[in-house]
Chains A and B, each alone.
Chain A
Amino acid sequence: MSGNNDNRLKRYDEQILPPSFRFLTEQQKAAYIQHLMEADLELRRVMQERLGKSQIAEQDLHVAINMIEMLQDERKVFSHTAKGETGSGTYELRVRGGDTKFIGSIALAVIAVALVVLVLIRVL
């Protein structure tokens, strides 16, 4: 057990063992190294998973942007929201476009002018 323990310890020589390590009993040292090895494996697993998520998010974003470009090319007024999870957190993208001729603003102005004209005709 002790020899096995020493071998494991050598593997972690490069890592910074906590300063309290020397105060541990042999049994505790063995348990600590066991945990360290498990943490190493878990770290690799978690990072692989996160990288995978990020790649999926990147793909999703590309798809969303291609769709937006298509809508823009078709000169459609659109509003699109894309939400997702990346390996490092979350993202949310809201895009509004297609109103290349400022239809909204012009419509507002036309309504206002029409209102004035209508009132003036009726009043005067």
Chain B
Amino acid sequence: MGGQRNSYPYRRSRHRNRYYSGYSNVSRVGSQTRDAAREYVRKCLFTLDNPRKRILFANYEALYGKAAGQYLRETLTKWGTGRVKMSDQSEQRILECVPRVMTVTEQYELLVISSNRWLRKLDGSDARRLPRPIGSVNELRNVYINAITRVISERPELDWFVKNVFTNEELNEYLSCLRFLAIQRYLQTFRAIQIDLASVLPIDEIEGCRVRSSYVDKLTNHLIEGVGRKDLECAPIEQENPIPALVSRIGHENAWLISERIMNEQYAAVVGKQTVNIGRDDMNSALTSLAELPPGADYDASYVIHGSGGDLYVHIQRRNVFKLRAEIAAYVLLQGVLIAFSLIVAWKMLFSSLWHASIAILIGVITGMIKLQEKVQAKKRELELYER
């Protein structure tokens, strides 16, 4: 399933033309982002064509002197092959000069890589972490609203060598694009969560069964336990999100970034919506089948439905009430027998030389009794749920 969800055809490498911005590189996380930006500059350095290489040499010489320029000319190939390691000073100089001779597309790619850390932070999720529990969809709505507020108020930290090649207007336009996309993503995901729940949740009460549903939203990685009809009443998020004017030098790149991202999200939303509809039919058909099970049989049925906003987990449990009562009675009887048995044995031993053994037996019995009592309580609680 997971594999299929990522099977968008235009994400495959053969579809990545020169407009592909690398936005999906957001999976490169945290501290790796800075290194990724530096690594990208290095990669571009070694793939520069001759005219741009000449401009680089000229700029480098003008900034750091003739000797430094000569050193660059002689060492560039050796850096590329790894025969000579680039010093920190040389790296700083390369970072200063190379982005200036990159093509607009390369500069834009560098900008995207450099802002990946911020994008990741905005997502607020980390696939390696366990889902964080949250009380209801209403609380989740607040999480989304806070995230949107954060998107509006925060600025990404970009690497100095990235800022060097863009004007303030260009950076502001790019930042507006990121904000537009991030807000759009939050709004669309929350809408998708509501659609997922509305499509499947009416199956929350089945006669004679215990139904527990939970939902994990895929964007912020929150887990809502016991999701139910009450969660369908949650209001949608009202937030204006106008598209920024894309008129700068990198306007077309920004427009592509937004268009491609929206297309991916629209595709995911349609797939998710239709999958949830299939899920609802699956559940209905499964419930019809479960109703055919012999009345005395106990069952546990678990379903996972991958929606467009997250995953819905439904657990349906049925227990034979008479059997539960019989089990409780048997456990209580066993408790009584154990008490009688141990008291008799202990009484006999107390007046013999084995009095210390009688104490050990009593301790063992008390421990056993506590465990049995826990079992009885658990069964009673279960019984109460089915008798309600």
Report if A and B associate in a common complex: yes
Is the pair A20, B243 in contact by a Cβ cutoff of 8 Å? yes
CB contacts (< 8 Å) of B17 on chain A: these are 31
CB contacts (< 8 Å) of B304 on chain A: these are 89-91
Give the size range of A's interface with the partner: 35 or more
Which of B9, B251, B266, B344 is A123 in contact with, Cβ under 8 Å? B344
Complexed CA–CA distance, A116 and B326 (Å): 20
Encode contact with A along B262-274: 1 for CB under 8 Å, 0 otherwise.
Answer: 1100110011001
A104 to chain B, nearest CB (A): 7
Complexed CA–CA distance, A69 and B292 (Å): 8
Is the pair A54, B294 in contact by a Cβ cutoff of 8 Å? no
Complexed CA–CA distance, A32 and B266 (Å): 13
CB contacts (< 8 Å) of A25 on chain B: these are 252
Which residues of A, 7-51, contact B by the 8 Å Cβ criterion?
Answer: 16, 18-21, 23-25, 28, 31-32, 35-36, 38-39, 41-43, 46-47, 49-51
Is the pair A54, B281 in contact by a Cβ cutoff of 8 Å? yes
Which of A57, A87, A97 is B298 in contact with, Cβ under 8 Å? A97
Task: Indicate if B365 sits at the interface (CB-CB under 8 A).
Answer: no
Is the pair B301, A96 in contact by a Cβ cutoff of 8 Å? no
Task: Indicate if B383 sits at the interface (CB-CB under 8 A).
Answer: no
Task: Indicate if B87 sits at the interface (CB-CB under 8 A).
Answer: no
Known: A88-B276, A123-B344. A23 touches B1 (CB 8 A): no
CB contacts (< 8 Å) of A23 on chain B: these are 246, 251-252, 254-255
Known: A58-B285, A89-B1. A24 touches B259 (CB 8 A): yes
Task: Indicate if B293 sits at the interface (CB-CB under 8 A).
Answer: yes
Which of A35, A54, A108, A119 is B330 in contact with, Cβ under 8 Å? A108
Encode contact with A along B1-34: 1 for CB under 8 Å, 0 otherwise.
Answer: 1001001111000010101000000000000000
Is the pair B255, A24 in contact by a Cβ cutoff of 8 Å? yes
Which residues of A, 100-123, contact B by the 8 Å Cβ criterion?
Answer: 100, 102, 104-106, 108-109, 112-113, 115-116, 119-120, 123
Is the pair A69, B294 in contact by a Cβ cutoff of 8 Å? yes
Task: Indicate if B142 sits at the interface (CB-CB under 8 A).
Answer: no
Which residue from chain A places its CB closest to the CB of B337 in the assembled complex?
A112
Is the pair A99, B323 in contact by a Cβ cutoff of 8 Å? yes
Encode contact with B along A82-93: 1 for CB under 8 Å, 0 otherwise.
Answer: 000111111111
CB contacts (< 8 Å) of A68 on chain B: these are 293-294, 297
Which residue from chain A places its CB closest to the CB of B313 in the assembled complex?
A89
The number of residues on chain B lying at the interface, defined by a beta carbon within 8 Å of a beta carbon of chain A, is: 68
Is the pair B243, A97 in contact by a Cβ cutoff of 8 Å? no
Task: Indicate if B305 sits at the interface (CB-CB under 8 A).
Answer: yes
CB contacts (< 8 Å) of B330 on chain A: these are 104-106, 108-109, 112
Which residue from chain A places its CB closest to the CB of B200 in the assembled complex?
A88
Task: Indicate if B355 sits at the interface (CB-CB under 8 A).
Answer: no
CB contacts (< 8 Å) of B293 on chain A: these are 65, 68-69, 95, 97
Which of A39, A87, A89, A96 is B267 in contact with, Cβ under 8 Å? A39
Task: Indicate if B348 sits at the interface (CB-CB under 8 A).
Answer: yes
Known: A39-B9, A87-B278, A91-B301. A100 touches B296 (CB 8 A): yes
B72 to chain A, nearest CB (A): 36
Task: Indicate if B374 sits at the interface (CB-CB under 8 A).
Answer: no
Task: Indicate if A5 sits at the interface (CB-CB under 8 A).
Answer: no
Which residue from chain A places its CB closest to the CB of B279 in the assembled complex?
A88
Which residue from chain B places its CB closest to the CB of A29 in the assembled complex?
B259
Complexed CA–CA distance, A50 and B277 (Å): 11
Task: Indicate if B341 sits at the interface (CB-CB under 8 A).
Answer: yes
CB contacts (< 8 Å) of A38 on chain B: these are 9-10, 15
Complexed CA–CA distance, A21 and B289 (Å): 48
A–B pairs, 19, beta carbons within 8 Å: A23-B246, A23-B255, A31-B17, A35-B10, A38-B10, A39-B263, A42-B8, A65-B290, A65-B293, A88-B306, A89-B311, A91-B282, A93-B300, A94-B300, A105-B326, A109-B330, A112-B337, A115-B341, A123-B348
Q: Which residues of A contact B (CB under 8 A)?
A: 16, 18-21, 23-25, 28, 31-32, 35-36, 38-39, 41-43, 46-47, 49-51, 54, 57-58, 61-62, 65, 68-69, 72, 85-100, 102, 104-106, 108-109, 112-113, 115-116, 119-120, 123
User: Nearest 3 A-B pairs (CB), nearest first?
Assistant: A97-B297, A88-B279, A23-B255
